[in-house]
């Protein structure tokens, strides 16, 4: 379907995802091209041109927008962010300082990241971290003869009391009861 310049401009200004793939916006001043739904700051009308295909954008010398990624068929930034955070938590759940450092490296506010994570996985990042710690502790309790205090620290808890409180809250029994 052919759209008028005004329809395209309106779709672009309103970040209307319904028009994604129907046309692209080439920004002359930056040399990039975007989807109509791109959330980046809008350029002046005189600095853009509407282009029908991605190939045409690239033939005209435009580069892909790193924010809206018009080169991808499906672009799910929130899902990608949640997945990255999940991986970070799985790698660093035992080390709070390193976990915080890696999360800060995502360059998004922690509140925003938490909302994205909770929407995707149904729990907060800290709940997920705690779940991993408890799973590790339970495994060590069942499979080793380590002292409970050593298991608490090996699982990433900062204190024995925090370990006991979390274990009892989420498993409804003390750690000793898990032992063979």
pLDDT of residue 21: 86
Among 40, 42, 66, 64, CA closest to 51: 64
Q: Tell me, yes or no, whether 12 and 59 share the same domain.
A: yes
- Encode pLDDT of 140-151 as tens digits: 999 999 999 999
The answer to whether residues 88 and 58 belong to one domain is no
CA distance 48 to 167: 58
Does 159 lie in the same domain as 136?
yes
Distance CA 73, CA 128 (A): 30
Q: What angle do CA 39, 65, 15 make, to 5 degrees?
A: 25
14 & 53 share domain: yes
- Which alpha helices (H) appear in the chain, and where do they start and end? 5-13, 54-59, 77-92, 96-104, 110-121, 125-143, 148-154, 160-171
- Residue 95 maps to a domain: yes
Determine the structural domain holding residue 94 and report its residue range: 83-126
CATH of the domain at 9: 3.40.10.10
Residue 70, SS3?
coil
Note whether 117 and 165 are same-domain residues: no
Residue 19: the pLDDT is 87
**Tokens 């002359």, residue located:** 28
Residues 120 and 136 in one domain: no
Residue 72 lies in a domain: no
| pLDDT tens-digit readout, 32-49 | 999 999 989 999 999 999
Please report, in angstroms and rounded to a whole number, the separation of the first and last CA atoms in the chain: 68
Instruction: Kindly state whether residues 104 and 150 are assigned to the same domain.
Output: no
Count up the domains in the chain and report the number.
3
Do 138 and 122 sit in the same domain of this protein?
Answer: no
Compute CA 6 distance to the chain's CA centroid, rounded to the nearest angstrom.
34
In a domain, 76, yes or no: no
In the chain, which residues have pLDDT < 50?
none
pLDDT of residue 107: 79
143 and 166 both lie in a single domain: yes
Residue at 109 is within a domain: yes
Give domain status of residue 70, yes or no: no
Domain containing residue 147: CATH number: 1.10.10.60
pLDDT at 74: 67
- Asked if residue 58 is part of any domain, the answer here is yes
pLDDT of residue 9: 92
């Amino acid at each position: 379907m052919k759209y008028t310049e005004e329809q395209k401009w309106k779709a672009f200004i309103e970040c209307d995802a319904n028009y994604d793939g129907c046309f692209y916006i080439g920004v002359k001043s930056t040399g990039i091209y975007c989807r109509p739904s791109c959330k980046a700051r809008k350029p002046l009308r005189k600095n853009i041109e509407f282009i029908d295909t991605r190939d045409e954008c690239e033939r005209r010398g435009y580069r892909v927008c790193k924010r809206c990624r018009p080169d991808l068929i499906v672009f799910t930034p929130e899902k990608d962010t949640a997945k990255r955070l999940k991986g970070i938590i799985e790698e660093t759940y035992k080390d709070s300082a390193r976990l915080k450092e890696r999360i800060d490296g995502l360059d998004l506010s922690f509140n925003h990241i938490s909302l994205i994570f909770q929407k995707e996985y149904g729990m907060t990042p800290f709940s997920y971290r705690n779940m991993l710690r408890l799973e590790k502790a339970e495994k060590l309790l069942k499979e080793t003869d380590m002292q409970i205090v050593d298991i608490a620290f090996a699982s990433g808890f900062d204190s024995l009391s925090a370990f006991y409180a979390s274990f009892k809250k989420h498993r409804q029994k003390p750690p000793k009861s898990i032992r063979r």
